[in-house]
Structure 1
Amino acid sequence: MPRPKVHPANRLRANTACTACRTSKKRCSGYFPCTNCIHKGRGRSCTPFKSVPNAGPRSRLVPASGPTVEAPRTSRGTTVDLRNPSNDIGTPHPEFDTLEAGSHSPEVTHQTHPRMLRNLQGERGMKILYVGKAASLSFLQLLRDTVTQHIGPSQFSHNGGSEDMLEAEAHHDLLNSSEECCTIDEKDRFIQNYHAATSGFFNLSLCDDNSCSLIDPADPKTDREKTRAAIVDLMIAIGAQSLPNDRKTLQVERFYFARGQRRTFANMLEDPSVDLVRVFLLMSFYMLGACRRNTAFMYLGVASRAAVALGFHADFPAPLNPDESDKRNERTRLWMSLCILDLLVSSILGRPSAISPLLPENRQEPSWIGAAPADPGLVASYQLSLILDEIINCLYSEKEASAQQADLLLCKLNAWGEYLPRSLRTSSLEHKDNSTFREHTIRNMHVACSYHFAVILVTRPFLVSVLSVRLARLHKSLSTTEPSEVPEEDQAHSRLAAACIDSAVYMLQTCLEVHKSGLLLRNMCILKAFIFAAALVLGFSMFSHRDVDPEIDDVFRGALTILRMLASQSAQAAHYLEIITKLEAAINKRRQQLAAQARQRRSQYVSRIFSLNDSSATPQTQSEGEEEQARNTTPVLSQSVTSYAWLHTDDGTAAAVSPPMVDGALFDWEGMDLPLWDSFPFLAESTTI
């Protein structure tokens, strides 16, 4: 029987409800985390709705697992935990005092949605792949729909592969594992490139005292030797993958990966070990560079399950034996490396993380994390990955994004950045070795780009909301019908949208500086996804504004430059380059339409009579003529700039010549038609005198 109805006077109501319960209009228990959030597995994102100071008692309800350390104070008197800045969500940073209005701003409904994509391996109707709403591919579909709505069909919005997820085919080469492809010195050079490619993401603590014995070409005998040999093979393969592809390097890459993969699957899955976690972590990183993200995602799952079986996620007392302490530090660095890569890949693909459920509710690091020897790049990336996981859980697990939550998450990111070591902020010139300097620079770039990517994920829902309003206002301002009510922007949402654009600009500027210095590797598996996400944000901003910002335009073209370099040996980067190039063509078309509409409104008494480009005898609209011109041009790379010349670079590739800049605006030679110029026929006759 149903329970008797409770009289309204006898109902017990909580004084404060959490954000999630208030959004879904469900009854909240009033303590944090509340019952509803615990049952739904989102306890760590449960925070009070009304005011920020009420979130303070939550940290006292959960006992800390680590030792108590006095936190340093900022210049403004606030305290931040250096080991775990993410615990200070209850205390807003003073620099974000201007964003307190966001606590009362309306929530933003997510316009990006999870998608099911097809694989490109010949089975379009069979292999269905999932990407979440936080993925750049989901944001790409939203951008395509927006472009179609405002300029009509284009190659950017209506291409044949819009529902495909690019995945390269696997290479199954037959090899003789007893014959080495390179010498010990060449192996050492490849391993140095491996350290540069994984700097800021990995620290496997393997090649230290016994690095010489690890690259010995002798055939391993025991299972442990075979395991270590597989790890070294994968390191060599990743190092070769990051170098320019010639016949020798490509042979080394495929040979050592195939041999390391074969040694991995021989007998190592029967018993979990520390080396098993290492080898699957390395195979996952290699697969990301080989444009096989689904395989990399599955390998990360195996590494995560093996780490759980070995108790990497648990907190144990500190050992007294020095040998055990060294092993514990080794496990610590391996666990941090696994967390970084798993949470990064999951956020890029918008998929649930295998590590996320294992993280503590209060984001308190285990005590053995702080006891491990310092690796500033690894520790900073690990702390940032915890905040990144919280961003996904707080903002993208619900139907709406809260401006209050975004403000608090930005406070965490700001506290993390304020106490970033100086060695991660500057380029140290004290390294005399070029390989060490490159590793140091790439490490700092990886950490900086991960931070900017986290800011983009926090603020991108508000960017979509603000730019949609601006597009509506722009459409109404150019409309010839009677003026109607114009939507207004929320002030807090506008600040968050500006932060999204600024973060994308800073990320691409950082990458361009490293690229111009010649320190970028030829295969950057995580960086190309960061650049693609930032370029989409800037492209959306450029499409939504009537005025041209020269800085944003230059940075956007810089993203094309980096992707063009990476596309030489990365199919994924080539796919990103094609998408961003077509987006640039759509932006140019949008700007031409806005200029034509503004000219039409300004010149009501005059119209153009004749144009040499309109050669058809029958009347033809502007859109039909542009579509016909698009069909007659090169469908892939020539869409970035219409009818511009192509220059052949030193490496044999073709690059489009961008139009010149005059007073901060694109100067289109195609716009200089013959009727605007004077002809001087007497000059031709003067040469014969």
Structure 2
Amino acid sequence: MLENATSDEFLSVGSKRPYVDSTSIDRLTSNFVSVTSGLVDVSESARLAESISTRAVEKEALHDEASAVDYLVLAIGSQSVHEESAAQYFGYAKSLALSRLGGDLSIETVQAFALITFYMLRACQINGAFIFFGIAARAAYSIGLHRTEVNSRFEVNVHAQRDRLWKSLRVLDLFLSISMGRPPSMSDVDFTVPYQSLDPDGQDKFDLLNASVQILSITEDIVLRVYSRRKISLQLTEGISRQLRDWSTRWLLRLRRTLSESSQGEKTEVIGACQAMSSYYYAVMLVARPFLMYELCKRLPESTATAYTPSASSNGDSSGRTRLANACIDAASLMAEMVLDLVNRRLLDGRMPLIVSWLFASSLVLGVGLLGGFGRVLEKYTRMSIAALEFFAKDDTHAVQYSLIAQSLLSSALRYLQRRDTDERVQIMGSSSQLFGLVPKKRLPRDNPVSAGLEEPQASPSSSQVGNMSHSPQTGELFTSPFHDVDPSLLSLGGFLDPPSGASLPGGDQHGQAEHVFGALNLFPLLDGNGHIDLAHYL
């Protein structure tokens, strides 16, 4: 796990109150509101700038949580503008927040540690962010932020602020949990804060924070029900797809309109919409990724001597599992295209941890799709994702690492495709060249490199043998594929993902058969064996 190192010069910052240029407060506050859009909402932007301006001109420093929140706002707002000033603001604010932790907890305590978490995420210090978020979560529970009936005892503005702060914490918690693979610090078991607000017509009000917390809640459901249990079933996939379609119906059109119609002056809405849509695309990739990997195992040759033929490895593009695999690739393509477009329009900040994490996932999906023969056009989208990652890599250590991994995968996929195309061409040449005598009929010497592709093919194993066994290039031994015992017909989901019709899966008998066989498919065979992972046969 890579993290940005913190200079010793800034670690010693604590009791010394940093200088605040009053003329830069509005700009820094505006930057803060933009980069936190759709993720964290601590206060109204107008009141926030006014509060910071009032405190900045005071001669006596107020050592309270509210002052810590003000300096954290300035720190986050200046992170991409002047990193040295940001570190000074952050060090002072963190010292204030920790010094007041032993007293009575308040909403400002939760705000302060939530913003410390967000700052550290943007600074690529994710372990520290994870630790400080635990303080924010426990402080929130201690003052009852998770219960809207408690929040309603305050005046209307404070009630709304407390509800939105709880949703902000849920967004941060879900992102940390999903991206780091760690248990969440908060739970939805006992909360009563609503995740939606309706207008007089009964429709969802356009609220980027609500859109984000809703889609991340669906993503959490995918992680818990699929990846934590390491199994997937047709019935489970259908239920999750219904949730995603419902979210898309309510939000996707409005979010896309925001991205296409907004200008530089509406940067806040653009960034919030991008972060919400990125989470949506990631959720689609996450639920469909097992089917993509299944298709990849079926499409790749079982040995170096077996050429890839689409007809031999696929039952047709109309099959349900192929459609799910293509949905995974489509979501990755749409995300890469969206992010790079906003980068080219100069509407994104250089430090966007959520977008960087989900963009890396899309680059891996696109590279795997290219490797699996889902279309050479995926090379263009993979390069899009890499270009976007390189933009973020100027400020983000993780983006640097992710970009290098994506480039390595792309180059490996292109080398494999070139070798496969060359082998296919040589095989075709062996038969077509006899028409006009392009190649002498007499067999060439075995040491001639041209003869390798022109000799008569050797006897190949039966289709059942090829389907059940593969060849390890390192050991020369045969090993069993983890997917050989799965009937491909059980993955055929038919038309249940067709949005216009909304049709469901076939009857209960077919459900039971699919659950009995495919529901038992282990998604992570490498993790079996009491924690011992033997990679020899998988590399």
Same fold (TM over 0.5): yes
Question: Structure 2 vs 1, CA of residues 369 and 539 (structure 1 numbering), >3 Å: closer, same or farther?
Answer: closer
2:127 maps to which residue?
294
Question: Structure 2 vs 1, CA of residues 431 and 566 (structure 1 numbering), >3 Å: closer, same or farther?
Answer: closer
CA distance in 2, matches of 1:467, 1:386: 29
**C-alpha deviation, 1:270, in angstroms:** 4.0
Judge conservation of contact 1:470–1:544 (CA < 8 Å) in 2. yes
CA distance in 2, matches of 1:569, 1:221: 32
Judge conservation of contact 1:376–1:424 (CA < 8 Å) in 2. no
Question: Is 2:436 the counterpart of 1:600?
Answer: no
Return the letter of the residue paired with 2:70.
V
Question: Structure 2 vs 1, CA of residues 178 and 212 (structure 1 numbering), >3 Å: closer, same or farther?
Answer: farther
Question: Is 2:402 the counterpart of 1:587?
Answer: no
| Matched residues, number | 426
2:72 maps to which residue?
234
Question: Structure 2 vs 1, CA of residues 470 and 313 (structure 1 numbering), >3 Å: closer, same or farther?
Answer: same
CA distance in 1, matches of 2:182, 2:14: 38
Return the letter of the residue paired with 1:520.
L
Residue 424 of structure 1 aligns to a residue in which SS?
helix
Residue 339 of structure 2 aligns to a residue in which SS?
helix
2:512 maps to which residue?
none
**Sequence identity percentage:** 27
Judge conservation of contact 1:536–1:580 (CA < 8 Å) in 2. yes
2:108 maps to which residue?
275
**C-alpha deviation, 1:331, in angstroms:** 0.5
2:29 maps to which of 191, 203, 226:
191
2:371 maps to which residue?
543
CA distance in 1, matches of 2:405, 2:253: 37
Return the letter of the residue paired with 2:37.
S
1:556 maps to which residue?
382
Judge conservation of contact 1:214–1:228 (CA < 8 Å) in 2. no
CA distance in 1, matches of 2:155, 2:268: 30
What is the alpha-carbon root mean square deviation over aligned residues? 3.1
Residue 209 of structure 1 aligns to a residue in which SS?
helix
2:307 maps to which residue?
478
Question: Structure 2 vs 1, CA of residues 229 and 477 (structure 1 numbering), >3 Å: closer, same or farther?
Answer: same
2:143 maps to which residue?
310
User: Which deviations, in whole Å up to 9, do the C-alpha atoms of 1:467-492 show, x marking residues without a partner?
Assistant: 11111479675289xxxx97868932
Name whichever of 594-603 and 468-477 sits farther off: 468-477
Return the letter of the residue paired with 1:167.
E
Name whichever of 173-182 and 586-595 sits farther off: 173-182
**C-alpha deviation, 1:445, in angstroms:** 0.8
Pairing of 1:1-40 with structure 2 (within 5 A): none
**C-alpha deviation, 1:200, in angstroms:** 0.9
Return the letter of the residue paired with 2:342.
V
Judge conservation of contact 2:336–2:381 (CA < 8 Å) in 1. yes
Question: Structure 2 vs 1, CA of residues 510 and 431 (structure 1 numbering), >3 Å: closer, same or farther?
Answer: closer
CA distance in 2, matches of 1:222, 1:332: 27
**Structure 2 unmatched runs, 5+:** 431-438, 451-472, 474-539
Residue 167 of structure 1 aligns to a residue in which SS?
coil
CA distance in 2, matches of 1:313, 1:378: 16
Judge conservation of contact 1:403–1:493 (CA < 8 Å) in 2. no
User: Which deviations, in whole Å up to 9, do the C-alpha atoms of 1:62-98 show, x marking residues without a partner?
Assistant: xxxxxxxxxxxxxxxxxxxxxxxxxxxxxxxxxxxxx
2:362 maps to which residue?
534
CA distance in 1, matches of 2:121, 2:418: 39
1:417 maps to which residue?
248
1:458 maps to which of 284, 287, 293:
287
Name whichever of 348-357 and 510-519 sits farther off: 348-357
Judge conservation of contact 1:508–1:531 (CA < 8 Å) in 2. yes
User: Which deviations, in whole Å up to 9, do the C-alpha atoms of 1:31-88 show, x marking residues without a partner?
Assistant: xxxxxxxxxxxxxxxxxxxxxxxxxxxxxxxxxxxxxxxxxxxxxxxxxxxxxxxxxx
User: Which deviations, in whole Å up to 9, do the C-alpha atoms of 1:10-30 show, x marking residues without a partner?
Assistant: xxxxxxxxxxxxxxxxxxxxx
Return the letter of the residue paired with 2:428.
R
Judge conservation of contact 1:313–1:358 (CA < 8 Å) in 2. no
CA distance in 2, matches of 1:497, 1:370: 34
CA distance in 2, matches of 1:428, 1:467: 33
Residue 169 of structure 1 aligns to a residue in which SS?
coil
Question: Is 2:333 the counterpart of 1:505?
Answer: yes
2:86 maps to which residue?
253
Question: Structure 2 vs 1, CA of residues 317 and 309 (structure 1 numbering), >3 Å: closer, same or farther?
Answer: closer
2:43 maps to which of 205, 216, 234:
205
Residue 353 of structure 2 aligns to a residue in which SS?
coil
Judge conservation of contact 1:194–1:238 (CA < 8 Å) in 2. yes
**C-alpha deviation, 1:460, in angstroms:** 1.0
Question: Structure 2 vs 1, CA of residues 331 and 277 (structure 1 numbering), >3 Å: closer, same or farther?
Answer: same
Pairing of 1:349-368 with structure 2 (within 5 A): 349-356=180-187, 358=189, 366=193
CA distance in 2, matches of 1:171, 1:269: 28
1:87 maps to which residue?
none
Return the letter of the residue paired with 2:376.
D
Question: Structure 2 vs 1, CA of residues 583 and 524 (structure 1 numbering), >3 Å: closer, same or farther?
Answer: same
**Structure 1 unmatched runs, 5+:** 1-164, 244-248, 610-622, 624-689
**C-alpha deviation, 1:523, in angstroms:** 1.3
CA distance in 1, matches of 2:59, 2:300: 65
Q: Structure 1-normalised TM-score?
A: 0.57
Question: Is 2:99 the counterpart of 1:266?
Answer: yes
Judge conservation of contact 1:284–1:300 (CA < 8 Å) in 2. yes
Judge conservation of contact 1:182–1:252 (CA < 8 Å) in 2. no
**C-alpha deviation, 1:500, in angstroms:** 0.6
Judge conservation of contact 1:472–1:487 (CA < 8 Å) in 2. no
Q: Structure 2-normalised TM-score?
A: 0.72
The structure where helix makes up a greater share of residues is: 2
CA distance in 2, matches of 1:396, 1:258: 38
User: Which deviations, in whole Å up to 9, do the C-alpha atoms of 1:233-254 show, x marking residues without a partner?
Assistant: 11111122234xxxxx121111
2:456 maps to which residue?
none
2:346 maps to which residue?
518
CA distance in 1, matches of 2:98, 2:14: 17
Question: Structure 2 vs 1, CA of residues 401 and 476 (structure 1 numbering), >3 Å: closer, same or farther?
Answer: farther
2:235 maps to which residue?
404
Judge conservation of contact 1:220–1:229 (CA < 8 Å) in 2. no
2:466 maps to which residue?
none
**C-alpha deviation, 1:350, in angstroms:** 2.0
1:392 maps to which of 216, 219, 223:
223
CA distance in 2, matches of 1:581, 1:389: 29
Pairing of 1:136-175 with structure 2 (within 5 A): 165-172=1-8, 173=10, 174-175=12-13
CA distance in 2, matches of 1:387, 1:486: 32
Question: Is 2:277 the counterpart of 1:448?
Answer: yes
**C-alpha deviation, 1:177, in angstroms:** 5.6
Name whichever of 382-391 and 415-424 sits farther off: 415-424
**C-alpha deviation, 1:536, in angstroms:** 0.4
Question: Structure 2 vs 1, CA of residues 220 and 405 (structure 1 numbering), >3 Å: closer, same or farther?
Answer: farther
Return the letter of the residue paired with 1:438.
K
**C-alpha deviation, 1:282, in angstroms:** 0.8
1:566 maps to which of 386, 392, 400:
392
Judge conservation of contact 1:340–1:382 (CA < 8 Å) in 2. yes
**C-alpha deviation, 1:402, in angstroms:** 1.5
Residue 411 of structure 2 aligns to a residue in which SS?
helix
User: Which deviations, in whole Å up to 9, do the C-alpha atoms of 1:190-246 show, x marking residues without a partner?
Assistant: 1211111111111112544363232332355555xx211211211111122234xxx
Judge conservation of contact 1:203–1:337 (CA < 8 Å) in 2. yes
1:332 maps to which residue?
163
Judge conservation of contact 2:329–2:369 (CA < 8 Å) in 1. yes
Judge conservation of contact 1:197–1:242 (CA < 8 Å) in 2. no
Return the letter of the residue paired with 2:288.
T
User: Which deviations, in whole Å up to 9, do the C-alpha atoms of 1:621-662 show, x marking residues without a partner?
Assistant: xx9xxxxxxxxxxxxxxxxxxxxxxxxxxxxxxxxxxxxxxx
**C-alpha deviation, 1:533, in angstroms:** 0.5
Name whichever of 570-579 and 598-607 sits farther off: 598-607
CA distance in 2, matches of 1:600, 1:499: 34
Question: Structure 2 vs 1, CA of residues 472 and 571 (structure 1 numbering), >3 Å: closer, same or farther?
Answer: same
